[in-house]
C-alpha cells in the first residue's frame, strides 16, 4: 500500500522561520560534507500504526461475527457480511483521510465554528420522528439508506476543532468567567442536552473530557476548572441516580457474579470477563473463541477487545494497548512541537485528538475489563462501524497534516 503525499524540498534552517530565504540547491550539493536533510516529509510510522490497527481490527471483526448468521436475528446475513462491510468502510476511510490530509490547518481553523453548528443540527435531526434510527432503545443514527450516520461521532472531532479555535480566539479573556469560560460551557451544555435525549451518556463523557482537556491546556483558570470538574461529576452522578436502569447497571457492575446480575444487567460484563479468563497468556487461538458464539452480545462492536483477549490472550491485548499508547504519545508530541512554533490552534487540535482517542480507548477497554460500568463505546479504528472508523481516520489525517506542516516550518518553508 502506498500513500501519495505532497513533497517539499529540504531547505536549510534560518534564524527567522517565516522569512527564511531559499538558496540554490546546487550550491549545497557542490559543497563537500553537506547532505540533504534526512527528515521524513510525513510521519510514516504514524500512518503504518493506524493501518495496522485497522487491519488487525478487520481480522478480529471477521472472527467475532462469523457465527452471527446462525442466530435468527442475522439469519439473512452471510458469514462474511460484516467483514465485507468493514473492508469497504476502511477503504472509504483511507480515501477520506488522504483527501483530509490535503486540507491546510488554517482552513480547519476557519471552518471550525460552522462545522460545530452543522453537527449540532444533525444531533437535533436524530430526535425528529422519521429521521432518527433507533437501536436497542437509543436513537443515535440518521439513516441514508446506503449507510447510517452517527452525528455524535462527528461531534467528537468537531468539538476538538471548535474548542481549539475558541481557545485561540478568546486567549486574552480565558481567565475571565463571563467572557471566556461560560460561553464554551454553554456550547458543551447544549451538546450534552441533545446527547442525553438520545440517550448517549458514553459519547457525552468523551466530548466533555475533550472540551475540558483543551480548555485546561489553553490556560483556563485552575480554580474554575476544578470547580466545573466537580460540578460535572455531581451531574453525572445525579443523572445515573435518577435513572433506574442506569442505577441498576452500576449495582450490577459492582457485583457482576450475583445470579440476578449475571443473567441481567451484568450479562455482557460477566461473559466478557469469562472471555479474558479463557484467553490467559497467549489465548485459545485465532477463531477459536467460544464467547462469540452468541454468548457475548455485540462482540464485533463494543466488546471486540474481549474476543481479542480470548483468542490472542494477554499478549494480543498488550499489543493493542501499546499501539494506542504510541498514537496518543505521538499526538501530544506533535501538539507540543506545533505550540513551540507558535501554531497554537494546530497544537491544541493535535493534543485534543490525542485526548479523544485516549479517553474513548480507555473507556472501551475499561468496560471490557470490568473497570468501568458498561457503556456503548466502540474501540477506535478497530470495532465494526462506518461512522466511527471514518471519523477516526479523518481526525488522525488532521493530526498527520499538523505534523507535516511542522516539518515544513522546520525546513524553513511556510505551512
Question: pLDDT tens digits, residue range 23-78?
Answer: 444 334 344 554 555 567 888 999 999 999 999 999 999 999 999 998 888 888 89
Say if residue 21's pLDDT is above 70.
Answer: no
What Cα–Cα distance (Å) separates residue 63 from each residue in 60, 149, 247, 289? Answer: 5, 25, 33, 8
- pLDDT tens for 193-215 read 888 888 888 888 899 899 888 98
What is the Cα–Cα distance from 302 to 310, expressed in whole angstroms? 15
Q: Which cell numbers in the block locate residue 328?
A: 496518543
> pLDDT exceeding 70 applies to what percent of the chain?
87
Looking only at the bridges linking them, the beta strands covering 148-149 and 132-135 are unpaired
Burial class (CB in 10 A: 0-12, 13-18, 19+), 130: exposed
Burial class (CB in 10 A: 0-12, 13-18, 19+), 359: buried
Looking only at the bridges linking them, the beta strands covering 138-143 and 148-149 are antiparallel
Average pLDDT of the residues of the chain: 84
Say if residue 137's pLDDT is above 80.
Answer: no
**Residues β-bridged to residue 143:** 148
Q: Which cell numbers in the block locate residue 221?
A: 483558570
Provide the 3-class DSSP secondary structure of residue 142. Answer: strand
Q: What is the DSSP string of 290-356?
A: STTTTTSTTTTTTTHHHHHHHHHHHHHHHHHHHHHHHHHHHHHHHHHHHHHTT-HHHHHHHHHHHHH
- pLDDT tens for 366-394 read 999 988 888 878 999 999 988 899 999 99
What is the Cα–Cα distance from 367 to 376, expressed in whole angstroms? 9
267-279 vs 344-368: helix axis angle to the nearest 10? 90
Provide the 3-class DSSP secondary structure of residue 277. Answer: helix
For residues 379 and 64, the answer to whether their CB atoms sit within 8 Å is no
For the ranges 190-194, 211-215, 221-225, 253-257, the lowest mean pLDDT is seen at: 221-225
- pLDDT tens for 293-314 read 989 988 999 999 999 999 999 9
Residue among 407, 202, 235 at smallest CA distance from 302:
202
Mean pLDDT, residues 211-231 taken together: 77
Residue 163 pLDDT class (50, 70, 90 cuts): very high
Q: Of 20-34, 187-201, 342-356, which one has max mean pLDDT?
A: 342-356
| Cβ-defined contacts of 215-218 (< 8 Å, 24+) | 215/163, 215/167, 215/174, 215/181, 215/184, 217/167, 217/348, 217/351, 218/163, 218/164, 218/167, 218/168, 218/171, 218/174, 218/348
Distance spanning both ends of the chain, measured CA to CA: 27
Amino acid at each position: 500500500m502506498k500513500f501519495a503525499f505532497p513533497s517539499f524540498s529540504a531547505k536549510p534552517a534560518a534564524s527567522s522561520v517565516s522569512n527564511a530565504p531559499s538558496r540554490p540547491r546546487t550550491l549545497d550539493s557542490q559543497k563537500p560534507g553537506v547532505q540533504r536533510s534526512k527528515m521524513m516529509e510525513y510521519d510514516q510510522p504514524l500512518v503504518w500504526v493506524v493501518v495496522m490497527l485497522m487491519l488487525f481490527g478487520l481480522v478480529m471483526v471477521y472472527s467475532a461475527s462469523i457465527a452471527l448468521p446462525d442466530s435468527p436475528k442475522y439469519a439473512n446475513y452471510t458469514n462474511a457480511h460484516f467483514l465485507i462491510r468493514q473492508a469497504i468502510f476502511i477503504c472509504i476511510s483511507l480515501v477520506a483521510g488522504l483527501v483530509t490530509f490535503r486540507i491546510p490547518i488554517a482552513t480547519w481553523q476557519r471552518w471550525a465554528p460552522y462545522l460545530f453548528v452543522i453537527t449540532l443540527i444533525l444531533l437535533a435531526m436524530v430526535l425528529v420522528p422519521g429521521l432518527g434510527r433507533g437501536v436497542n432503545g437509543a436513537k443515535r443514527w440518521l439513516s441514508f439508506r446506503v449507510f447510517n450516520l452517527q452525528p455524535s461521532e462527528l461531534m467528537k472531532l468537531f468539538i476538538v476543532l471548535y474548542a481549539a479555535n475558541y481557545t485561540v480566539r478568546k486567549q486574552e479573556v480565558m481567565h475571565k468567567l463571563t467572557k471566556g469560560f461560560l460561553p464554551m460551557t454553554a456550547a458543551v451544555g447544549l451538546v450534552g442536552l441533545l446527547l442525553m435525549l438520545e440517550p448517549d451518556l458514553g459519547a457525552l463523557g468523551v466530548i466533555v473530557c475533550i472540551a475540558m482537556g483543551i480548555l485546561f491546556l489553553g490556560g483556563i483558570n485552575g480554580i474554575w476548572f476544578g470547580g466545573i470538574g466537580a460540578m460535572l461529576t455531581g451531574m453525572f452522578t445525579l443523572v445515573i441516580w435518577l435513572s433506574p436502569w442506569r442505577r441498576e447497571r452500576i449495582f450490577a457492575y459492582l457485583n457482576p457474579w450475583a445470579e440476578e446480575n449475571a443473567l441481567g444487567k451484568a450479562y455482557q460484563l460477566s461473559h466478557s470477563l469469562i472471555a479474558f479468563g479463557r484467553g490467559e497468556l497467549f489465548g485459545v487461538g485465532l477463531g477459536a473463541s467460544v464467547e462469540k458464539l452468541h454468548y457475548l452480545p455485540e462482540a464485533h462492536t463494543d466488546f471486540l477487545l474481549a474476543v481479542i483477549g480470548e483468542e490472542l490472550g494477554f499478549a494480543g491485548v498488550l499489543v493493542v494497548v501499546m499501539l494506542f499508547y504510541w498514537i496518543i504519545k505521538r499526538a501530544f508530541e506533535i501538539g507540543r512541537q506545533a505550540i513551540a512554533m507558535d501554531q497554537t490552534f494546530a497544537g491544541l487540535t493535535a493534543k485534543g485528538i490525542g485526548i479523544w482517542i485516549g479517553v474513548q480507548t480507555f473507556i472501551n477497554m475499561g468496560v471490557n475489563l470490568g473497570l468501568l460500568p458498561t457503556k456503548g463505546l466502540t474501540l477506535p479504528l478497530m470495532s465494526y462501524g462506518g461512522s466511527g472508523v471514518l471519523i477516526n481516520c479523518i481526525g488522525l489525517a488532521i493530526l498527520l497534516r499538523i505534523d507535516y506542516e511542522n516539518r515544513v516550518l522546520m525546513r524553513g518553508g511556510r505551512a
